[in-house]
Structure 1
Amino acid sequence: MPQLMATQILEIWGLAHNLSLIILLFHFLYSVTRGRLEPGSLGRARSTGLIPDVNYMQSERGQGMLAVASDSSGRSKDKLDQKTVRRLAQNREAARKSRLRKKAYVQQLENSRLKLTQLEQELQRARQQGVFISSSGDQAHSTGGNGALAFDAEHSRWLEEKNKQMNELRSALNAHAGDTELRIIVEGVMSHYEELFRIKSNAAKNDVFHLLSGMWKTPAERCFLWLGGFRSSELLKLIANQLEPMTERQVMGLNSLQQTSQQAEDALSQGMESLQQSLADTLSSGTLGSSSSDNVASYMGQMAMAMGQLGTLEGFIRQADNLRLQTLQQMIRVLTTRQSARAFLAIHDYSSRLRALSSLWLARPRE
């Protein structure tokens, strides 16, 4: 019985406590609606748990938002770090490939330089051995078409002066001038030929192909052109028939001079054939249709060698003209002054007939 009474008392106490809380809540709400909130009532309501603590709720919500923001920032930072790492790796790989390409390009340039140096050394050794006759360095003096026009003008003036000399020489022979007067004229003619070869030597520096093509000659003269001029051996055959009678010594001297000239001409002709074949082999030895760096270096090497080979053409022209000059000088030594005068006239008349034939051919009627 006493235990039952104690239990009932506790239940009644709990109900009374709850009722007091309810009354206190209604009192609080009534005060809020009436605008009259007694001091301490808000604190008592919070302490009893009737209303939530706003500051506590805001603090909890702020901490939650900070936690979410911190987590989101961490994930973004991780993503940013991964992108940065990938970008840095890509940059390092691109830089490595760039260094490799630069190294390969520098190596190709160095190989090309070594090849060109080797070619220059080989060309120099070949020139010293007599395979190539002249240096290609004089090609820098080339002035193209202007040089050809200048030579044509000089050659025309040379022909005019030569015609005057030949007329003077013919008049002296017809007037039976003495040997002293004839010798002066013959020496002047010889000096005039030396001037021609000097002009041709300068022209060869400017445009050797113009001399080789014979475009400064008439069409009929070009038919007999050899290395930019006449063949000395054929010239000696021509004048031999115009100088009879000659002594036996003179005949032997002219025959020997003709044979020597023929041998020199054959040697130069063989040299030209070898040069043409060598030039063709050089230009045809490359790979077609490729633009790799190795083939570009090979192409430059071929062009350097071909330029060196073309440079020897000037040497062939000079040697051919030197042979012509020496032939004329030796001819004068073998012949008498009067025979030399007749020989120069024979050469002049032959050239004049070739030019006249060219004029007639160009002026012929065409159907």
Structure 2
Amino acid sequence: MELSNIAGKEKESKAAALRRGVNNRKGAGSSSEHEGPKTPDPRILRRLAQNREAARKSRLRKKVYVQQLESSRIRLTQLEQELQRARAQGIIIGGGALANQVISGSGGGTVSGLSSEAAMFDVEYARWLDEHNRVISELQAALQEQISENELRMYVESFLAHCNEMVSLKSMVAKTDVFHLLSGIWKSPAERCFMWMGGFRPSDLIKIVVRHVEPLSEQQILNICGLQQSTQETEDALTQGLEALHNSLSDTIISDALGYPSNMGNYMDQMMVAVNKISTLEAFAHQADNLRQQTLHRLHQILTVHQVARGFLAIADYFHRLRSLSSLWLSRPRQE
């Protein structure tokens, strides 16, 4: 009888302990429910942010790469067309660069190819243009990504530095073959229609920029109007000076003192006068390039960083459209 009572008490104590365990688990569950969602681990958040940033940069690199491929394709088409024209004109291509050639004609005349300096400049310009496409792609992507003003300023200054590099290249070829520089043969056909002293008219580019940077403050409008006026006046002065040089050179060439071979001494003296006048073309080329350079830097000072970024992209797009127009023109169907 006592044993059965003892066994019964043990069962009751075990059942009570089981009920207390269940109640404890329920209480713990209910308390955890009242605590709310746990704060995520900072390391997990940092890892997620890094993954998002890596994905963003990957998309950006892919977009830039596609743009570079398209620019390279257009440039390759232009080079192929230039090569075909060069062959048709009798210019020999050898060793990866344009070589000099003088072809004697039946009448004793000559047809000259490019000088070595001009050929080297063309190679360097092609390299600069490829790099220019990369600089523009990066600037465009940076503007679209809405990065900070300081970061965007770095891309804008990279654009200006790249333009300064072009000024240096042109300065070197102007010393040795200013005719090649001023002729604009190194540019695409459509670009040559708008050439002014070996490049573009700064006053025209101011108009392009203004159309893409509005709204402008009152002070900005006043500054840009002043820049437009001073730039136009300098362009006019250089144009008049170059025209006066042309007239003076023409007068020298048609002078009676060049009655060779009646007086060899006078002939050589007058020809040296003509050569000296031609050498002043280099000064005109330098002044025109300096004006272009100063105009871009002045726009950089007048406009905000975002405005000047949009303006520089508009300039690049303008010349890109001219090059595309040239490609379409050269590849157009010919009527038989």
Give the SS at the match of 1:291: coil
Q: Conserved in 2, the CA contact under 8 Å of 1:144 and 1:207?
A: no
Q: Conserved in 2, the CA contact under 8 Å of 1:144 and 1:206?
A: no
Q: Conserved in 2, the CA contact under 8 Å of 1:286 and 1:299?
A: no
% identical aligned pairs: 51
1:163 is the counterpart of 2:163: no
After the TM superposition, which residues 255-294 of structure 1 pair with which residues of structure 2 at under 5 Å, given as runs?
255-287=225-257, 291-292=261-262
Q: Conserved in 1, the CA contact under 8 Å of 2:164 and 2:293?
A: yes
Which among 329, 346, 352 is matched to residue 297 of structure 2? Answer: 329
1:355 is the counterpart of 2:323: yes
Q: Which structure has the larger Rg?
A: 1
Aligned residues: 223
Distance 1:303 1:169, change over 3 A: same
1:339 is the counterpart of 2:310: no
How far apart are residue 217 of structure 1 and its match? 0.3
Which structure 1 segments of 5+ residues have no match? 1-142
Large movers: runs of 4+ above 2 Å: 286-292
Give the SS at the match of 2:223: helix
1:210 is the counterpart of 2:180: yes
Distance 1:165 1:298, change over 3 A: same
The structure showing larger relative contact order (alpha-carbon pairs under 8 Å, at least 6 residues apart) is 1
- Tell me the alpha carbon deviations over residues 91-135 of structure 1, each in whole angstroms, 9 at most, x when there is no partner: xxxxxxxxxxxxxxxxxxxxxxxxxxxxxxxxxxxxxxxxxxxxx
- Tell me the alpha carbon deviations over residues 16-49 of structure 1, each in whole angstroms, 9 at most, x when there is no partner: xxxxxxxxxxxxxxxxxxxxxxxxxxxxxxxxxx
Distance 2:135 2:114 in 1: 32
Distance 1:288 1:198 in 2: 37
Distance 1:289 1:244 in 2: 61
Higher helix share: 1
After the TM superposition, which residues 11-30 of structure 1 pair with which residues of structure 2 at under 5 Å, given as runs?
none
Give the SS at the match of 2:177: helix
Using the size of structure 1 for normalisation, the TM-score is 0.59
Q: Conserved in 1, the CA contact under 8 Å of 2:142 and 2:152?
A: yes
How far apart are residue 289 of structure 1 and its match? 5.5
* Residue 306 (structure 1) aligns with: 274
How far apart are residue 144 of structure 1 and its match? 6.2
Letter in 2 for 1:189: F
* Residue 198 (structure 2) aligns with: 228
Letter in 1 for 2:281: L
- Tell me the alpha carbon deviations over residues 302-356 of structure 1, each in whole angstroms, 9 at most, x when there is no partner: 1111011000000000000000000011110000111111111000000000000
CA RMSD of aligned residues (A): 1.4
Distance 1:305 1:245, change over 3 A: same
Distance 1:364 1:211, change over 3 A: same
How far apart are residue 255 of structure 1 and its match? 1.0
Distance 1:220 1:183 in 2: 32
Give the SS at the match of 2:256: coil
How far apart are residue 291 of structure 1 and its match? 3.0
Using the size of structure 2 for normalisation, the TM-score is 0.65
Distance 1:289 1:198, change over 3 A: closer
* Residue 55 (structure 1) aligns with: none
Q: Conserved in 2, the CA contact under 8 Å of 1:208 and 1:313?
A: yes
Q: Conserved in 1, the CA contact under 8 Å of 2:202 and 2:292?
A: yes
After the TM superposition, which residues 14-53 of structure 1 pair with which residues of structure 2 at under 5 Å, given as runs?
none
Which structure 2 segments of 5+ residues have no match? 1-112
After the TM superposition, which residues 55-94 of structure 1 pair with which residues of structure 2 at under 5 Å, given as runs?
none
